[in-house]
Amino acid sequence: MSRPRRYLTCAPTYFDVTYAINPWMREGEPVDTALARTQWESLVDAYRAAGHTVEHTEPVAALPDMVFAANAALVLDGKVLRSRFLAAERQPESAAYATWFKAAGFDVHEPEPGPVCEGEGDLVPVGGLILAGTGFRTTVPAHQEAQEFFGVPTVSLHLTDPYFYHLDTALFALDDRNIAYCPEVFSPGSREVLARLFPDAVVATRDDALAFGLNSVSDGRHVFISPRATGLIGRLARRGYVPVPVDLSEFHKAGGGIKCCTQEVRTP
């Protein structure tokens, strides 16, 4: 069943690869700005065609990764937990997004200096829990902070493969109860936890994950997914989901895909 969603995005006006903070990024790699714009617009169009609301925050010239809206916060029940980015280059993004949330009437939790927290990049609400990634960016004390702030139990999951430096590159929520993920990029204990919590999960190969297939957005029925993740697309279709392919190949150069470009604004 699909449920209408509210998504916050940021146009890729200043998107570029000017520094390298994950294995996908090559400093100075040329980005086709016009193609990036067209690809990003096709994502916005696909969301709207499926009945979702898409809003935009104002891009900032000095912040080439600001297009990756997912990292700026986690929004649950209308409450906003702001991010504290690991990389100095990305730190100002948090305040830029907080300005949008405040203007839109949200209560924004102001972070104390402390644990790294990269928003929906590492915090995935599903099944009455927050699945919380760690290993490369978000740290475990931030999982505790999210649990305390939202009053929702967090489950810490350890990522072990540097190509999957955010949880949202390795796992996504299919609906309110189930997930798709790639077991082999998690620690053995985290794999067991996921298998226990989600015995019906759709399991993806590392190749489909490398094609950004797990950096997907689902509304419960439509799965907005990289067309390069062919194996996973077939598996999702056989499980009754409707894959909606959207190619964000220019953004892969920065280590980002569909989910990275999408902040879900969950209101009560």
Q: Does 213 bind ligand ARG (CB under 6 A)?
A: no
Residue 232 burial class via C-beta count within 10 angstroms: exposed 0-12, middle 13-18, buried 19 and up:
buried
Pick the closer one to ligand ARG by CB: 25 or 96.
Answer: 25
Residue from 81, 98, 244, 254 in contact with ligand ARG (CB under 6 A):
254
Tell me how far apart the alpha carbons of residues 74 and 196 are, in angstroms, rounded to a whole number: 25
Chain residues 114-133 in contact with ligand ARG, contact rule CB under 6 A = 121
Which residue in 166, 182, 222, 252 is the catalytic one? 166
Chain residues 10-49 in contact with ligand ARG, contact rule CB under 6 A = 21-22, 25
Residue from 68, 97, 100, 181 in contact with ligand ARG (CB under 6 A):
68
DSSP collapsed to 3 states, 220-235: CCEEEECCCCHHHHHH
Judge whether 182 counts as a catalytic residue: no
Judge whether 260 counts as a catalytic residue: yes
Residue nearest to ligand ARG (CB): 260
The window from 126-134, 166-174, 179-187, 191-199 that contacts ligand ARG (CB under 6 A) reads: 166-174
DSSP run (H or E) holding 179: strand 179-181
Tell me how far apart the alpha carbons of residues 216 and 137 are, in angstroms, rounded to a whole number: 19
Name the one residue in this structure whose structure tokens are 């009945």. Answer: 51
Pick the closer one to ligand ARG by CB: 47 or 68.
Answer: 68
For residue 36, what are the β-bridge partners?
Answer: none
DSSP run (H or E) holding 237: helix 230-238
Tell me how far apart the alpha carbons of residues 34 and 103 are, in angstroms, rounded to a whole number: 30
Name the one residue in this structure whose structure tokens are 């990305």. Answer: 90
Least Å from the CB of residue 199 to ligand ARG = 26
Which residue in 10, 117, 260, 261 is the catalytic one? 260
Binding-site residue total for ligand ARG (CB under 6 A)?
A: 17
Contact 15, 36 (CB under 8 A): yes
Residue from 9, 57, 138, 169 in contact with ligand ARG (CB under 6 A):
169
Tell me how far apart the alpha carbons of residues 92 and 4 are, in angstroms, rounded to a whole number: 30
Q: Which residues are catalytic?
A: 166, 260
List residues binding ligand ARG (CB under 6 A): 21-22, 25, 65, 68, 70-71, 90, 121, 166, 168-169, 254-256, 259-260
